[in-house]
Amino acid sequence: MTTTSRRPAVFFDRDGVLNHDEGYLFEASKFKWMDGAREAVRLVNKAGYFAFIVTNQSGVARGFYQESDVDTLHRWMAEELAADGAHIDAFEYCPDHPEAPIERYRRDCHRRKPRPGMITELMQRFPVATDRSFLIGDQERDLEAARAAGIRGLLFREGNLATFVREAINLR
């Protein structure tokens, strides 16, 4: 694949970046978008970037909800974004946790942040220009995963996500 056919990507953490972190969120009825989140995704789309979500979902491993609940919430998010003219190119999540009470999810997985597996797998599946890509996260483990994947990591803690994304894209 030629370098010119590659596109930059924004890897969004989910809880604490796109939505308020309510702790083990899996229900659309409890989901609250972060200020400017839908506009931020639309800005990423219009700028020609891939938009990805990479999220740890240990609530599955802890037995709080099922993988099907995560998938249902992500479909709902996609519908909400589509209504605003935005889209996510791929949703990735890791349900595993090394101390999980549910045995099949009890493992130290390469996809669980701070490890870079979700990011690197997306970069293998899509023609991502890593030198122009970045991750937006709200925790140090998100930034660690970005560094391990060879991309920039940006810390988002508060404010309007669209304003944050606009500034981040202009930093290139």
Integer Cα distance of 21 and 17 in angstroms: 8
Q: Which residues does 91 contact at the CB level (< 8 Å), separation at least 6? A: 52, 53, 55, 74, 77, 78
**15 in a labelled binding site:** yes
**94 in a labelled binding site:** yes
**35 in a labelled binding site:** no
**138 in a labelled binding site:** yes
**84 in a labelled binding site:** no
Tokens 């890593």 belong to residue: 130
What positions carry a catalytic annotation?
A: 13, 15
* Binding-site residue set: 13, 15, 94, 109, 138
* Binding-site residue set for Zn(2+): 94, 109
* Binding-site residue set for Mg(2+): 13, 15, 138
